[in-house]
Amino acid sequence: MSADARDSPRSAVDTMGGMDATTATGLALGAAADLVLGDPRRGHPVAGFGTAAAALEQRVWRDSRLAGTVYAVALTAAAAGLGRVLEMRTRRYPSARVVLTAAGTWAVLGGTSLGEAARRMHTALAAGDVPGARAVLPALAGRDPRSLDEPELARATVESVAENTADAAVAPLFWGAVAGLPGLLGYRAVNTLDAMVGHRSPRYERFGWAAARLDDAANWLPARLTAALTVACAPLAGGSAGGALRTWLRDGAAHPSPNAGRCEASAAGALGVRLGGRNSYDGRVEDRPALGDGRPPGPADIPRAVRLSRAVWLAAAILSAAARLPRRAAV
């Protein structure tokens, strides 16, 4: 091949196309691994990141937004930077790039584990085992389960499945499509830090402010993509696309979260149930507005919510991989 051919614009496009193809393949394989295997059983990288973040927090915590901002930005940049270094090191090794992207995707996705936790809740409620169901709830939601009865446990589960479909699956896939491995790792860092320090409490009211705002920003588009996919996928779970769209547009902004309300409202409309109500978080009580105008959810609605969630995040996986497929420029 001549030097002119090697340096032609077509050659540059082919090189970039190959890079996109490796990312697309890695995203697809990682999503398939999560579908089949769920979360890694041991040595979960996200748990390792959380342990390191907790250790750093003990050293740098101050009752200060500035300290919290430096903490959140530094850890997020470190995670995304690691992804960037790994991509650079595998630039000439497409197979290694595919393996790394697949492993990163598998590590940051939690769609299958979310469904498994919800199924455990359904099994306990179907058996009339309310204490057992209360023991399952911390794997799904942060609210206090001690006083919750069967209807409230069912509502908490459906709400958690709806909201966490975005956090656990759609958002990491979205950022993987946008930015490859750095997007996958950076998003999961943001979301993990929000779960650790972004909630309201005397300790984290100021220190966790930046982590919470970063998570809001990172989830803004994915939450709306989740709602749109819920509309599209509702019929696959025996739900109503029209109800999902109507409830999303009418009730989505009523929720105190700028993102969770869109996911919960669209799911409520798709399933024909009413979400929202009083929630207790470690002694702090919040009265959430009603989302949807159907009946309160019951245990039988949990498998329906899981089927809808799986359809949504698998659709997101297909879209994320397709978005990275190479598109050759015309010669």
Q: What is the pLDDT of residue 228?
A: 98
Q: What is the pLDDT of residue 4?
A: 44
pLDDT at 297 over 80: yes
Q: What is the pLDDT of residue 3?
A: 43
Of 36-45, 67-76, 270-279, the least confident: 36-45
State mean pLDDT over 99-125.
96
The residue ranking higher by pLDDT, 44 or 116, is 116
The residue ranking higher by pLDDT, 264 or 16, is 264
pLDDT at 15 over 50: no
Confidence of residue 20 (pLDDT cuts 50, 70, 90): confident
Q: What is the pLDDT of residue 329?
A: 40
Q: What is the pLDDT of residues 134-176, one digit of tens each?
A: 999 999 988 888 888 999 999 999 999 999 999 999 999 999 9
For the entire predicted model, the pTM comes to 0.90
Of 102-116, 133-147, 205-219, 280-294, the least confident: 280-294
User: Which domain covers residue 224, as residue numbers?
Assistant: 11-323
State mean pLDDT over 207-232.
97
State mean pLDDT over 99-121.
95
State mean pLDDT over 78-103.
95
Q: Is residue 331 included in any domain, yes or no? A: no
Number of domains in the chain: 1
3-state DSSP of the chain: CCHHHHCCHHHHHHHHHHHHHHHHHHHHHHHHHHHHHCCCCCCCHHHHHHHHHHHHHHHHCCCCHHHHHHHHHHHHHHHHHHHHHHHHHCCCCHHHHHHHHHHHHHHHCCHHHHHHHHHHHHHHHHCCCHHHHHHHHHHCCCCCCCCCCHHHHHHHHHHHHHHHHHHHHHHHHHHHHHHHHHHHHHHHHHHHHHHHHCCCCCCHHHHCHHHHHHHHHHHHHHHHHHHHHHHHHHHHHCCCHHHHHHHHHHHHHHCCCCCHHHHHHHHHHHHCECECCEEEECCEEEECCCECCCECCCCCHHHHHHHHHHHHHHHHHHHHHHHCCCCCCCC
State mean pLDDT over 6-13.
39
Q: Is residue 96 included in any domain, yes or no? A: yes
Q: Is residue 329 included in any domain, yes or no? A: no
The whole-angstrom separation of Cα 223 and Cα 314 is 15
pLDDT at 17 over 50: no
Q: What is the pLDDT of residue 102?
A: 97
pLDDT at 184 over 50: yes
pLDDT at 328 over 60: no
pLDDT at 18 over 70: no
